[in-house]
């Protein structure tokens, strides 16, 4: 006969201490609720792919095991979703956001005031470190970043102030390249435009390419010209960094400031006004999810390069952004000014 297991007071206390956050945090329960992850990007893009991979595993680690769904809000380079989270979304812990870098940097880089305050979001954590590259389609007659100094190279972009546009314009300002951003795509259609030959290049993260178009890298369909990142990706160590071409100290400071948000690429966050208990529980669920063997196996199967930062680490990086000297921000703003430097997708007649 199987012996019945009993728990004494000491053992019960120890068990509760080791229990998942949702067991102890009875004040915040999502039973019979639906959680929505609002993705600041179109279906098929990198932010979308990461969110759809992790969503079902959040269910497992949140109290009450709620259904978790993904909703795409790609407008205004991702800012529409961030604005929605800040101004409209419920503050009960059933709505979280995931975004690309653009809306995080916008409050620092835009001349016009934004209607959200990045410092007031509650950060849950981040899944990836940004590793942006500028790359051309294999049929384009360009082999190096030096070639882009001598001819115009069109780049698919989601908006005039989106991350791909800014990366391209920074290269033009600091290195002397002739990238020409073409605005108006979503994350998914930008890659289709490259494949169809509508544009020459993309400036996006390797993580996004590895998850949405892994065969492009595997089969050499892209020629990667430059890393717009703090560090070179291990798979492409032979490719130079933009920082390697910049001699002026002020330009280097400006580029490093621009790259800081990429240190917590694909962050997850809660709207302002969410309870401290909800924030604590979400952070615990995130921490448990990213080490879940099943999630790790699934993200690896989808070729997602997961480089985790906790909610506390993301919060510290946001504070560092706010501590940036004004002259550095000003130099960056000048370098990415899209006025007269960005075209729109040709509209059908």
Q: List, for residues 250-300, the tens digit of each pLDDT value.
A: 999 999 999 999 999 889 999 999 999 999 999 999 999 999 999 999 999
**Which residue in 204, 202, 210 sits closest to 182, CA to CA?**
202
* Pair of tokens at residue 112: 């016009």
Residue ranges per structural domain of the chain: 15-130+264-323, 132-260+330-344
Q: DSSP letter for 91, please.
A: S
The residues with which 98 forms a beta bridge, in sequence order, are: 39, 268
The residues with which 179 forms a beta bridge, in sequence order, are: 153
Q: List, for residues 6-49, the tens digit of each pLDDT value.
A: 333 333 333 333 444 434 445 799 999 999 999 998 887 778 98
The matching CATH number, chosen from 2.60.40.10, 3.40.190.150, 3.30.565.10, 2.60.120.620, for 15-130+264-323 is: 3.40.190.150
Topology (CATH level 3) of domain 132-260+330-344? D-Maltodextrin-Binding Protein; domain 2 (3.40.190)
Query: Looking at residue 8, what is its pLDDT?
Result: 38
Could you report the average pLDDT of every consecutive run of 10 residues in the chain (349 residues)? 37 39 60 96 84 96 96 85 95 95 84 82 94 96 96 93 90 97 88 95 88 90 96 93 94 95 93 96 98 96 90 95 94 94 78
Topology agreement, domain 15-130+264-323 and domain 132-260+330-344: yes
Q: What is the mean pLDDT of the chain?
A: 88
* Pair of tokens at residue 261: 């948000």
Indicate the pTM of the whole model. Answer: 0.77
Contact 306, 127 (CB under 8 A): yes
């Amino acid at each position: 006969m199987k012996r019945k297991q009993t728990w004494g007071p000491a053992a019960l206390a120890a068990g509760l201490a080791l229990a998942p956050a949702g067991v102890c945090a009875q004040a915040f329960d999502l039973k019979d609720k639906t959680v929505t992850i609002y993705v600041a990007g179109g279906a098929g893009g990198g932010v979308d792919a990461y969110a759809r991979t992790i969503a079902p595993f959040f269910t497992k680690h949140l109290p009450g095991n709620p259904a978790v769904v993904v909703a795409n809000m790609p407008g205004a380079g991702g800012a529409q979703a961030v604005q929605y989270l800040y101004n409209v979304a419920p503050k009960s812990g059933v709505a979280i956001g995931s975004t690309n870098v653009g809306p995080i940097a916008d409050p620092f880089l835009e001349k016009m005031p934004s209607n959200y305050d990045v410092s007031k979001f509650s950060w849950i954590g981040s899944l990836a470190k940004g590793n942006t590259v500028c790359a051309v389609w294999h049929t384009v007659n360009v082999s190096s970043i030096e070639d882009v100094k001598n001819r115009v190279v069109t780049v698919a972009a989601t908006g005039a102030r989106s991350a791909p546009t800014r990366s391209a314009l920074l290269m033009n300002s600091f290195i002397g390249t002739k990238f020409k951003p073409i605005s108006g795509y979503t994350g998914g259609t930008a890659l289709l435009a490259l494949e169809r030959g509508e544009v020459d290049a993309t400036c996006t993260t390797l993580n996004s390419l590895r998850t949405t178009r892994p065969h492009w890298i595997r089969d050499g369909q892209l020629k990667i010209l430059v890393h717009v990142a703090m560090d070179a990706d291990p798979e492409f160590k032979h490719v130079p960094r933009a920082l390697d071409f910049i001699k002026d100290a002020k330009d280097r400071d400006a580029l490093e400031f621009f790259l800081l948000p990429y240190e917590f690429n694909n962050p997850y966050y809660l709207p302002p006004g969410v309870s401290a208990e909800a924030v604590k529980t979400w952070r615990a669920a995130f921490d448990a999810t990213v080490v879940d063997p099943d999630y790790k196996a699934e993200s690896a199967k989808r070729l997602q390069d997961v480089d985790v930062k906790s909610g506390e680490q993301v919060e510290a990086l946001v504070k560092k952004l706010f501590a940036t000297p004004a002259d550095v921000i000003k130099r960056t703003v000048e370098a990415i000014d899209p006025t007269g430097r960005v075209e729109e997708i040709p509209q059908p007649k």
